[in-house]
Amino acid sequence: MKYSLFALIILSMLFMVPMAANATDYEDYVVDVLINDESCPLQVLDWNAWYRAKDKITFGDALFLGDAAPVRVAGFQYDLKVKNTGKIDLVAYQVNVVVFSAFNEYLDTFGIFHGAILSPDKDMKRSNMAMFNGDDMFLTFFIWVDKARDSDGNIYFADLTKVKSTIEEKMGMEIPEEYLKPGIILEMNESLRMRWPKYHEVGVVN
């Protein structure tokens, strides 16, 4: 009986693997459009976004950290990866993101600012959270470098007419240019994805 139960568990696991591999979720249908300008010294390499419905503590964190395990905060999460393709250091940049819903409705525009030295040919991946209008309804993103400053003080500004035409061609609708200007700009000098117990134990008196 013991061996037959063991065999049943193994067979169940074998059948579950292909099903899990073929499983899809809403985030699998997300469309990311990276709008890069060859004249810009900073290029967007990758964008990944999803929505975490509830606060959670991962099994691994709980196993190894116990009560000190961080809480992964609910909300809109994103990863952004950029690369310095210029010839000198970059010291600051702003990436803008325009978001549309699953029904091709304009939701919002937000900017991501980061001040840090990024050497030529180096890439940087940043992870953070954002709150914007309809942040749990996203489906289509347009991402581009709006501004960049190098160590000599030269400043790059995006050509918004090219950005506008790219969005309009993809979405099949006219977009007012003011939609390309972010309503909120996020700082990217720290990750806001997690909080530690000492920050969320309400009512604890030290």
Q: What is the residue-wise DSSP string for 19-65?
A: HHHH---GGGG-EEEEE--TTSSEEEEEEEEEEE-S-B--HHHHHHH
Rounded to whole angstroms, how far apart are CA atoms 178 and 199?
38
- What is the per-residue pLDDT for 200? 46
> Does residue 120 belong to any structural domain of this protein?
yes
Task: Give the amino acid at 106.
Answer: Y
Q: Which of 178, 174, 204 is nearest to 67 (CA)?
A: 204
> Does residue 173 belong to any structural domain of this protein?
yes
Q: Per this entry, what is the length of the chain? A: 206
> Does residue 35 belong to any structural domain of this protein?
yes
- Coil vs helix vs strand at 188: coil
> Does residue 17 belong to any structural domain of this protein?
no
> Does residue 14 belong to any structural domain of this protein?
no
Rounded to whole angstroms, how far apart are CA atoms 55 and 62?
14
- What is the per-residue pLDDT for 177? 94
Task: Give the amino acid at 92.
Answer: A
**C-alpha of 23 from chain center:** 22
> Does residue 1 belong to any structural domain of this protein?
no
> Does residue 10 belong to any structural domain of this protein?
no
Instruction: For residue 2, give the H/E element and its range.
Output: helix 2-22
Model pTM score: 0.81
pLDDT tens per residue, the chain (206 residues)? 444 444 444 444 444 444 445 658 888 899 999 999 999 999 999 999 999 999 999 888 888 888 888 899 999 999 999 999 999 999 999 999 999 999 999 999 999 999 999 999 999 998 999 999 999 999 999 999 999 999 999 999 999 999 999 999 999 999 999 999 999 999 877 677 888 765 444 443 44
User: Burial, 31: exposed, middle or buried (Cβ in 10 Å; 0-12, 13-18, 19+)?
Assistant: exposed
Whole domain around residue 44: which residue ranges?
A: 26-189
Q: What is the pLDDT of residues 148-203, one digit of tens each?
A: 999 999 999 999 999 999 999 999 999 999 999 999 999 877 677 888 765 444 44
> Does residue 15 belong to any structural domain of this protein?
no
User: What tokens does 99 get?
Assistant: 């978001």
Structural domains counted in the chain: 1
* Phi, psi of 152, rounded to the nearest 5 degrees: -90, 0
